[in-house]
Amino acid sequence: MNKTIKIINENPDLSIIVSMYNEEDSLDVFFEKIREALSAISDYSYEIICIDDGSIDKTYELLLDYANKDNKIKIIKFSRNFGKEYGLMAGFKFCKGRAAIPMDVDLQDPPELIIDFVKKWEDGYDMVYGIRSDRGSDTFLKRFTAKLFYKIYNMMTRSPIPYNAGDYRLIDRKIIDAILLLKERNVFMKGIFGWTGFKSCGVKYTRQKRVAGKSKWNYWKLWNFALDGITASTTFPLRIWTYLGTLLSSVGILYAIYIILRTIVQGIDVPGYASLLVFILLLGGIQMIILGILGEYIGRIFIEVKDRPIYIVEKKVNIGDE
Ligand code: UDP
Ligand code: MG
């Protein structure tokens, strides 16, 4: 009897983690493709953890249909839309695999790549990330802004993130456990993956077009995502002002000395109020930027201090409570 229970509870090798929000049109083709890819490595047992991130279309009903027919398909239904990062966090928490593979449901991350991931994993890498070698499916502006973000981010932090690597990757249990130790709400997944360390390598792939539905991203969201990423990972934007302030004050003092000396030598010189206005405006602007940056951090401290849960699970399907 005990033995049967053990077999039922046996942990799978791979946990595929997919967060979805209003993805009713992508589901069928996603499951078809992912099963096809996983059948090519049938020595590896798997589970597919689907997080329904508060969809308001038929995503949950369709998922339930799949989960009822196949207990390898598991569902975590959020009470509302919390965001993909939190979906992935929930996936990491509930997954049982020896390795996890977070991916998008829209097949922009080709499922066949899992086979390459697993090969590298067997070679001893704890993290194998997909590198988008061709972002032809993205617009020029998106590629440019993404590149700029990586540049600035890597300049400021101690654990750089590889260019053009997304969330699509294989991560070993060691890394999942490390991620689960984090208690923060401002989750910047890519940064956290890099922060954990461990032996990692990349595998190139071509980013595909979305199979169905529309991207939930826009530039405002991307901008906020970049802000979250930077403020979650580094205090560089706060520190830089100490140096810039010191520099500006030094220049100010030197200029003051120059003016005093000039007044003594040449007498009082009334004009110059245009330059005065320019300086006041410039310094006022810089001070406001500093206040804004402080605000970005203080706002996040406020959110962290409140210590709210990062998501609320409404229902779980095919997932035990142990
Ligand atoms: N997603 C999510 N919650 C959200 C927004 C998106 O779980 O609030 C999921 C979405 O269903 C998809 C993945 O995150 O599986 C990537 O989203 P999307 O394709 O919109 O982003 P893009 O690929 O354009 O960056
Ligand atoms: Mg997408």
Is there a contact between 149 and 163 (Cβ–Cβ < 8 Å)? no
- Nearest atom (ligand 1) to Cα of 215: 20
- SS3 letters for the chain? CHHHHHHHHCCCCEEEEEEECCCCCCHHHHHHHHHHHHHCCCCCCEEEEEEECCCCCCHHHHHHHHHHHCCCEEEEEECCCCCHHHHHHHHHHHCCCCEEEEECCCCCCCCCHHHHHHHHHHCCCCEEEEEEEECCCCCHHHHHHHHHHHHHHHHHCCCCCCCCEEEEEEEEHHHHHHHHCCCCCCCCHHHHHHHHCCCEEEEEEECCCCCCCCCCCCHHHHHHHHHHHHHHHCCHHHHHHHHHHHHHHHHHHHHHHHHHHHHHHHCCCCCCHHHHHHHHHHHHHHHHHHHHHHHHHHHHHHHHHHCCCCCCEEEEECCCCC
Mutation test residue for ligand 1: of 26, 84, 137, 187, the one with most atoms within 8 Å of CB: 84
For ligand 1, residues with CB inside 6 Å are 19-21, 23, 53, 81, 83-84, 87, 104-106, 108, 215-217
Residue nearest to atom 23 of ligand 1 (CA): 215
Pocket test for ligand 1, best of 19, 138, 142 (most atoms within 8 A of CB): 19
Residue to mutate (ligand 1; options 16, 21, 189; most atoms within 8 A of CB): 21
Atom of ligand 1 nearest to the CA of 22: 11
> Does residue 51 contact residue 76 with C-beta atoms inside 8 Å?
yes
For the CA of 166, the nearest ligand: 1
Tens-binned pLDDT, residue by residue, of the chain (322 aa)? 444 444 455 789 999 999 999 998 889 999 999 999 999 888 899 999 999 999 999 999 999 999 999 889 999 999 999 989 899 999 999 999 999 999 999 888 899 999 999 999 999 999 999 988 876 667 788 788 888 888 888 888 888 888 888 889 999 999 999 999 888 877 788 888 888 888 888 898 887 777 777 777 778 888 888 888 888 888 888 888 888 888 888 888 888 888 888 888 887 767 777 778 878 888 888 888 888 888 889 988 888 888 888 899 998 888 876 4
> Looking at ligand 1, which residue's alpha carbon is closest to its atom 11?
20
- What's the pLDDT score for residue 78? 96
Q: Whose alpha carbon is nearest atom 24 of ligand 1?
A: 215
Q: Which atom of ligand 1 is nearest to the CA of 20?
A: 11
Distance linking the first and last C-alpha atoms of the chain: 19
Which residue, 119, 146, 114, is CA-closest to 130? 114
Atom of ligand 1 nearest to the CA of 210: 19
pLDDT of residue 128: 94
Structure-token pair, residue 147? 């590149």
Strand partners, 102: 17
The reported pLDDT for the residue numbered 8 is 52
* Residue pointed to by tokens 């799949």: 66
Model confidence, pTM: 0.77
- Evaluate whether 89 touches 188 at the Cβ level (below 8 Å): no
- Nearest ligand, CA 84: 1
Domain 14-217+310-317 has CATH 3.90.550.10: yes
Q: What is the pLDDT of residue 218?
A: 78
Give CA–CA dist 322/316, Å, rounded: 12
Half-sphere exposure of 138 (CA within 13 A, CB side): 19
